[in-house]
A and B are shown apart, each in its own frame.
Chain A
Amino acid sequence: MSKPEPRVGLFVTCLVDLFRPSVGFAAVKLLEAAGCRVEVPELQTCCGQPAYNSGDKADTRAIALQVIEAFRDFDYVVAPSGSCAAMIKKHYPELFEKEPEQLAKAEELSARTFELISFLTDVMQLSDVEAAFPQTVTYHDSCSGLRELGVRDQPRKLLSSVNALSLVELSDADICCGFGGTFCVKYPDISNIMVTSKTGSIESTGAQTLLAGDLGCLMNMAGKLQRSGSDIQVRHVAEVLADMTDTPAIGAAEGDTRNGGN
């Protein structure tokens, strides 16, 4: 383990900030329980992926420099998203390949940046959580977390310590759900085929709740499940691990606590 009470800067991610702050609070709870001191720099907005993936390098670099500055003083930077963590960890250094000074800063930040669940297990050595969730759940591996950061076993390991929870594997857990950031609105017809195939296999697991570690993918799959009349609930894995499931699930109506711990 690293030094006692590491200072963690929470990279909230724009989607969690705007759509589902409860995921942010679940992350804070998990990090604190694992022995971290958590702060949330106000200078953050977004990691810059929408610009980066649209080919707008100038804006991406400006945003990256802002993030580098905002998170300069933390021991670790942790994001409840594989995709945003991979952006900082893997892609920020690529942005400054030809500028040694900025590159050094980007690489230094990269070394301190982690996706939430893998940070808890791999850095903080957490092996179980205090939580209960009396349901059958299934888990989708979001692409960036899986292939860029190697997040696969970590969430499964922590989920196995949740009381009363049983996990059924999804046959195509490693296949993209069709979100892809702006992809899903630029190519809606293709995205729809992909998410339809995904929700089909989610339904065939018989699980009551779908979990994943990235809010973008979760909103995509939740939106499709609801459009097709499914009553499978959808949550960020951190909510379950933090035992914070009394908020309505993603896209569920107010007062719908079917899924909740009460």
Chain B
Amino acid sequence: MQSRSHSFKENAREAIADPNIQAAMAKMKVGFTGKRLAAAARLPEFEALRDAARDIKNHSLANLDFYLERYEAKVLETGGQVHWAPTAADARKAILDICERAGAKTVTKGKSMISEEIALNDHLEEAGMTVVETDLGEYIIQLRKEPPSHIIAPAVHVSKEQVEADFRAQHQHLPAERSLSEPTDLVNEARQILRQRYLDADVGITGANFLIAETGTSIIVTNEGNGDLTQSLPKIHIVIASIEKVVPNLEDASTILRVLARSATGQEFSAYTTLSTGPRRAEDPDGPEEYHVILLDNGRSSMLGSEFQDMLRCIRCGACMNHCPVYHAVGGHSYGWVYPGPMGAVLTPNLIGVEEAGHLPNASTFCGRCESVCPVRIPLPKMMRHWREREFERHLTPKSVRHGLGVWAFMARRPALYHRLTGLGIRALAALGRRRGRFTSLPLAGGWTKYRDLPAPQGKTFQQLWAEKQKNGRAAK
């Protein structure tokens, strides 16, 4: 996917001015958070499970090579094939080769963020194939020719009125009198369209929430069951997954599953948890003839052993963005690439470079709400700060910020000078603002006073007043 992360500020400004996005965000910011809270409260061991989930991911990452090789061996054993893809281009090529060899015309897809990351749809369409997203949210944004704005709710920025309008514009068969005003009407309409597509498809592509090293199984969770139809009806099933999805065994996956849905949507479990292991066996009633796994690295292995390794624990639940007041203000598209919100602010610079995505880790107040809900306890603010440190070291921090900071730090490191100069400056400022108590505009403070008044200082500094008090106290004795 082409990045627009460098223009984060402009993207954000547009999103702020867009009433549809603002309405959608106002709704989601109470919905998800309340549901997560209730789900967590119903499970006494929720916090302990978060620790367990963190530990499982840490263990898997510390032994990633071992578990990946084990996983590969198991996939081969069950009759599947594994394609290692160091880059996005390698992954695209591997998938295209499989599809072309099969003479595929229609490809159905379950929801996959990796597919967005490698811009798979464009690639397959350029090769003349019809690509059909089967997750309702993905289907909607595919119709709208938009990227997802959320990792588990890709169309969260779209209102149901907008979806109705899109369906009426693009589904030619729809009689005008048919009501589409309820969400269930929309789901039924999409289902009808998709039903035939499942049957037409030559290849089905899904993502993976987990890869199980012990059994060679891939697991997806969905609420619509679309993943099952996508992967079991066509002759060929391709799983695309990034390397950090592997965990040792099914027990581990089920521990993490207990925090995944609760953190994401507040459900105890997603409606469908689908396991697939290899192609159809002789005794199986159905299933694909070929089973392929694309294992994508695309920059992740370079995070191992770096200060960003903890980010690889991410299980893509979306809780961090559901709870992020910056995400609520600007929506997912502002982040400009596949992964929005706090997890994107850490991951995106790792995957596409901090030169391109430098705004993302800076656009945070470090309020810490993301970290407080992350099911695998990723210290997101700390890692955003690591990016700021790298930017500062590499002189990528804007000159004006660097300069202002330099002057301030010079003073802050010299207390006597600091107290003398701030004492003078504050007295002057106080004299200017005394009558009204605040400023509505002030040179050099435009970033502040554009939207809010600046309270005037009281007069002398605390240090001055304290020194006077001490002197008077002594004189009185």
Of all chain A residues, the one with the shortest Cβ separation from B461 is: A17
- Chain B, interface size: which category? 35 or more
* Interface pick from B69-77, B186-194, B362-370: B362-370
Tell me if B369 and A175 are in contact (CB < 8 A): yes
* B326 within 8 A of partner (CB): yes
Tell me if A247 and B368 are in contact (CB < 8 A): no
User: C-beta contact mask, B421-449 vs A, less than 8 Å → 1, else 0?
Assistant: 01000100000001111101000010110
- Do A190 and B422 contact each other (CB < 8 Å), given the known contacts A176-B367, A178-B365? no
* Total inter-chain residue pairs, C-beta < 8 Å: 205
Of all chain B residues, the one with the shortest Cβ separation from A188 is: B447
Chain A residues positioned under 8 Å from B418 (CB to CB): 45
B-side interface mostly: helix
Chain B residues positioned under 8 Å from A55 (CB to CB): 385, 387-393, 397
Chain B residues positioned under 8 Å from A20 (CB to CB): 455, 457-458
Contact of A54 among B330, B371, B401 (CB under 8 A): B401
Give the shortest distance, in Å, between A189 (CB) and chain B (any CB).
5
* B1 within 8 A of partner (CB): no
Tell me if A53 and B388 are in contact (CB < 8 A): yes
Of all chain B residues, the one with the shortest Cβ separation from A234 is: B455
* A186 within 8 A of partner (CB): yes
User: C-beta contact mask, B454-473 vs A, less than 8 Å → 1, else 0?
Assistant: 11111111110111000000
Tell me if B452 and A19 are in contact (CB < 8 A): no
Of all chain B residues, the one with the shortest Cβ separation from A248 is: B437
Tell me if A45 and B329 are in contact (CB < 8 A): no
Which chain A residues (30-61) contact chain B, with CB distance < 8 Å? 40, 42-46, 48, 50-57, 59
Tell me if B13 and A189 are in contact (CB < 8 A): yes
**With A and B bound together, what is the CA distance between A56 and B410 in angstroms?**
12
User: C-beta contact mask, A77-92 vs B, less than 8 Å → 1, else 0?
Assistant: 0000000000000000
Tell me if B463 and A17 are in contact (CB < 8 A): yes
**With A and B bound together, what is the CA distance between A84 and B339 in angstroms?**
32
- Do A143 and B461 contact each other (CB < 8 Å), given the known contacts A44-B415, A51-B405? no
* A211 within 8 A of partner (CB): no
Tell me if A54 and B405 are in contact (CB < 8 A): yes
* A123 within 8 A of partner (CB): no
- Do A182 and B466 contact each other (CB < 8 Å), given the known contacts A18-B426, A189-B13? no
Tell me if B367 and A143 are in contact (CB < 8 A): yes
- Do A12 and B462 contact each other (CB < 8 Å), given the known contacts A186-B362, A190-B329? yes
Chain A residues positioned under 8 Å from B129 (CB to CB): none
Binding site for B on A (CB under 8 A): 12, 14, 16-22, 24-25, 40, 42-46, 48, 50-57, 59, 62-63, 66, 70, 94, 143-144, 147-148, 174-176, 178-195, 197, 219-220, 222-224, 226-227, 247-248, 250-254, 256
Between A and B, 28 residue pairs with Cβ closer than 8 Å are: A18-B422, A18-B461, A21-B466, A22-B458, A42-B415, A42-B416, A55-B388, A55-B390, A56-B409, A59-B413, A62-B409, A94-B382, A144-B366, A147-B371, A147-B372, A178-B325, A186-B362, A188-B448, A189-B13, A190-B363, A193-B16, A194-B326, A222-B453, A226-B438, A226-B453, A253-B437, A254-B434, A256-B437
